Structure 1
Amino acid sequence: MIRTGVVLIALLISACSSHQSKRYQHHQDFTPDAVVDVSSIREAVPVAEPRSLLGNPESYKVRGKRYRVMTEAAGFTEDGIASWYGSKFHGYRTSNGEIFDVYKMTAAHKTLPLPCYVRVTRKDTGESVIVRVNDRGPFHEGRIIDLSYAAAVKLGIDKAGTAPVHIEVVEPPHRDSVLWIQAGALSSGERAEQLKKRLADITAGKWPVTINEKQKGDLTLHRVRIGPIAAGKANAVVEQLEKAGISPTVVLMQHQLDI
């Protein structure tokens, strides 16, 4: 059984690096037909997850080069070039056995343990996104991370194809910690009160809903938030809000509340 597992891992990783026509329906990668609305894209929310059974061998070899998979990701940072991959790979399995979806905030990295979460920051613009790493690659010299198409659009590199970035691993909060979900930052106090009432109705009053005012120059923002919420339940609440048509949302830790 152990040998079978090792073989499966090797096959998945090598398949993800292959460009053979037998592996994919299309030879060249391409953008999806559907236009991505950046405002509707939600960042990946770091949660504690076990290591995947697939995609985490001690080491593996691609194109004659051996890569050693990290056993611990905490504190890891890296600088280099980010690229993205799209519809050619949509619907195929990632290295850890999941199905690749161009519209999800995911990424591929050569040596980070799967899955894990990283913040990707463009060095030229300062824009950043959080993605969930669930695949291996990119196997091109100088490139350190391959983003899903959605993540590339969110970061603004879908047109250029690549960009210089800094990546850092984001540790998920402890299961017993708490989070807040910001559903809106409105200039109108009246609209903020309306949103507050709607959030209370959607969540059936399970968690406090508050309005936090923040001065931005001459503008007062009314930030409508749900929380504190147990970290392990935050994703379910975000999904509940999305089903009710409230998105995107921002998940905040306690030290981010006054930013």
Structure 2
Amino acid sequence: MTKTLSDLRLAAALAVLALVVAGCSSTPTETDHSGRYTIAQDHGPAQDVDVSGTGNAVPRYEAPRSAGNKSPYTVWGKQYRVMAANDADGYVQRGIASWYGKKFHGHKTSNGEIYDMYEMSAAHKSLPLPSYARVTNLDNGRSVIVRVNDRGPFHGDRLIDLSWAAAKKLDFLGQGTARVEVASITVLQDGSMTLAGQSWSPEGSNASAVVAEATGAQPEPSPLDGNALFVQLGSFSQVAPARRLEQAVRSRTGEPVRVRQITTASGDFHRVQVGPFGDSIDAERAMERLASEGFRQAMVLTDRH
């Protein structure tokens, strides 16, 4: 039977109507996730997330794995080699750190784990997977301990790619990159540890803390003992910003404040500290007062001369 022009127009209209109805269905259309990543431009979480309570990665012995440790391997035509465990034991190097976030969140890392941008992790081109490292921001003295479970970064001369949370704790999210020192942490089967090849153990019984005086790092809050406690608000490689912060604290709070200079393997740092306090309760109350005045980047530590 031959269709008239009006019949064809009616059929076309019905087809369009069917598509519209399908598009308005309450069942969402499946997104094609066949590609490696569905976000073109990497970024952090949509809402700011407080990572002050996120502790450092806790170094522990992990048996070597085959996943992610193929050596040599090639990326974008360039060949890389994975360090043997003995070579990684004494590894310490300075360079540029970058960070990665939402674009890779939920995807597999090079050793088959799932990347979580809120954890303290990192990607490195040659350290064995998994392994641990202390990363120090050379511009502000802040340090974190990360678990290396991914490969990269493969852009330019960057040394290490940090998780979003680790970069936030090192305070360089806004800049995108930072000058850092990366020192490997090796854990043997008996639990003993080395930092850049030297015998080392985390401060106290909290394995997530950093040995402040030995490394120039700022420790995570941990159980404290001793008679003199201070609330540290910042650590700077230059004295001028430390003095400005000292003056701001003194003028806005009236709290006793000092700038303490220390010399570490990473250089000289000027620490802005409020105190002393007789016990941790007084120090924590001081932290609350300081936070109410806008000084929220604070931590309690012991006074070591």
Asked if TM exceeds 0.5, the reply is yes
Secondary structure of the 2:205 match is strand
Equivalent residue in structure 2 for 1:37, among 30, 42, 50: 50
**Which residue in 2 is equivalent to 1:119?**
134
Match of 2:163 in 1: 148
Change (3 A) 1:53 1:62: same
Distance 1:136 1:29 in 2: 17
Structure (1 or 2) with the larger CA radius of gyration = 2
Q: Which amino acid aligns with 1:180?
A: S
Instruction: Note if 1:161 corresponds to 2:176.
Output: yes
Cα offset, 1:28, TM superposition: 1.2
The superposition leaves residues 203-252 of structure 1 with CA deviations (integer Å, 9 ceiling, x where unpaired) of: xxxxxxx862231475235359xxxxxxxxxxxxxxxxxxxxxxxxx9xx
SS at match of 1:151: helix
Paired with 2:101 and 2:81, the residues of 1 have a C-alpha distance of 26
Matched, 1:222 2:237: no
Instruction: Note if 1:27 corresponds to 2:27.
Output: no
Aligned match of 1:98:
113
| One-letter code aligned to 1:171 | T
Counterpart residue identity of residue 59, structure 1? P
CA–CA separation in structure 2 for the residues paired with 1:162 and 1:25: 24
The gaps in structure 2 that reach 5 residues or longer are: 1-33, 193-200, 209-222, 231-274, 282-298
> How many residues end up aligned between the 2 structures?
184
Kept in 2, the 8 Å contact 1:214–1:223? The answer is no
Which structure ranks higher in relative contact order (CA pairs < 8 Å, sequence separation ≥ 6)? 1
Q: Which aligned pairs between 1:223-242 and structure 2 lie closer than 5 A?
A: none
Residues in 1 aligned to 2:155 and 2:113: alpha-carbon distance in whole angstroms: 23
2: CA distance, partners of 1:115 / 1:182: 17
Q: Which amino acid aligns with 2:156?
A: E
SS across alignment from 2:98 = strand
Q: Is the 8 A contact 1:213 1:220 kept in 2?
A: no
Offset of residue 258 of structure 1: 6.5
Equivalent position of 2:68 in the other structure: 55
Shift in CA distance, 48/27, structure 1 to aligned 2, threshold 3 Å: same
Task: Tell me which stretches of 4 or more aligned residues in structure 1 moved more than 3 Å.
Answer: 173-179, 221-224, 256-259
Q: Quick one: distance in 1 between partners of 2:35 and 2:172?
A: 29
In 1, distance between residues paired with 2:41 and 2:69? 27
Identity %: 48
Separation (CA, whole Å) in 1 of partners of 2:280 and 2:226? 6
Q: Supply the AA of the counterpart residue of 1:160.
A: Q
Q: Where does structure 1 lack aligned partners over 5 or more consecutive residues? A: 1-20, 184-209, 225-249, 251-255
TM-score w.r.t. length of structure 1: 0.64
CA deviation string 1:88-116 (max 9, x = no partner): 00000000000000100000000110011
Counterpart secondary structure, 2:166: helix
* Counterpart code for 1:222: D
CA drift of 1:182 comes to 9.2
Q: Does 1:46 align with 2:59?
A: yes
Query: Do 2:80 and 2:126's aligned partners in 1 also have CA atoms closer than 8 Å?
Result: yes
